[in-house]
């Protein structure tokens, strides 16, 4: 998947307007007046056959500071209560794991990270929140993520980062990119406030 996206970036197809990678699929948006589906499929298959020769860069490791204290973790109490755990245990499990960025989607800079330790697997909220605070660290199923913007969201919130996950300037920059490795580092509420000043 990562190789395929890199190949499409390196050798762009004319009149292909956008590429949306996901877990096990890539959506290719093209000008329907320049390509038929069959022609484009043939061009994509030709590239798929060459994936073996596409080098992958060494995965970057990105550390995301996150505060797991109550004020930033509205779903922590419920998650702990269900398991009879203290919040420290959820925090320890969440920060101990190293995650892979599978892809970015939903909104700018939103990275789908996995795999979340099985002990932390949680169903989505039955009714999504109308607005999740920007920077919220969330879990759902075997995935975790940071909400880059205040958006509606159905994942459960266990912390928050002061990091700005996406900046629009200069062609856009996202803290995370497909293929990166991610670790979360626990910070106190005081550190959160300090870091937020420098990053916002």
Q: Which residues bind another protein (CB under 8 A)?
A: 5, 17-27, 29, 32-33, 36-37, 103-112, 148-149, 151, 166, 168-169, 171-172, 174, 178
Distance CA 197, CA 120 (A): 31
Tell the smallest beta-carbon distance from residue 81 to another protein (Å).
Answer: 25
Tell the smallest beta-carbon distance from residue 176 to another protein (Å).
Answer: 10
The DSSP line for 170-186 is: TT-EES--TT-EEEEEE
CA-CA-CA-CA dihedral for 25, 107, 128, 182, to nearest 10: 70
Of residues 37 and 82, the one with the C-beta less far from another protein: 37
Of residues 21 and 135, the one with the C-beta less far from another protein: 21
Distance CA 114, CA 191 (A): 26
Query: Can you list the alpha helix ranges (DSSP code H) found in 11-124?
Result: 37-48, 76-83, 87-96
Tell the smallest beta-carbon distance from residue 20 to another protein (Å).
Answer: 3
Tell the smallest beta-carbon distance from residue 174 to another protein (Å).
Answer: 5
Of residues 2 and 73, the one with the C-beta less far from another protein: 2
Tell the smallest beta-carbon distance from residue 113 to another protein (Å).
Answer: 13
Of residues 37 and 84, the one with the C-beta less far from another protein: 37
Quote the tokens at residue 156. 């459960």
Quote the tokens at residue 71. 């004020």
CB contact at 8 A, 135 and 151: no
Of residues 19 and 87, the one with the C-beta less far from another protein: 19
CB contact at 8 A, 132 and 110: no
């Amino acid at each position: 998947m990562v190789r395929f996206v890199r190949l499409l970036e390196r050798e762009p197809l004319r009149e292909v307007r956008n590429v949306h990678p996901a877990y096990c699929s890539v959506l290719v948006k093209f000008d329907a007046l320049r390509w038929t589906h069959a022609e484009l499929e043939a061009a994509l298959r030709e590239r798929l056959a060459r994936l073996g020769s596409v080098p992958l860069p060494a995965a970057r490791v990105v550390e995301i500071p996150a505060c797991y204290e109550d004020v930033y973790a509205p779903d922590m109490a419920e998650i702990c209560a269900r398991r009879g755990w203290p919040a420290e245990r959820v925090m320890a499990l969440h920060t101990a794991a190293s995650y892979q960025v599978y892809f970015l989607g939903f909104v700018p800079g939103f990275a789908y990270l996995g795999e979340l330790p099985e002990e932390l697997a949680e169903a989505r909220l039955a009714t999504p929140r109308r607005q999740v605070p920007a920077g919220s660290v969330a879990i759902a199923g075997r995935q975790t993520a940071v909400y880059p913007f205040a958006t509606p969201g159905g994942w459960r919130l266990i912390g928050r980062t002061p990091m700005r996950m996406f900046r629009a300037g200069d062609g856009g920059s996202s803290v995370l990119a497909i293929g990166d490795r991610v670790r979360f580092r626990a910070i106190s509420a005081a550190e959160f406030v300090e870091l937020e000043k420098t990053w916002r």
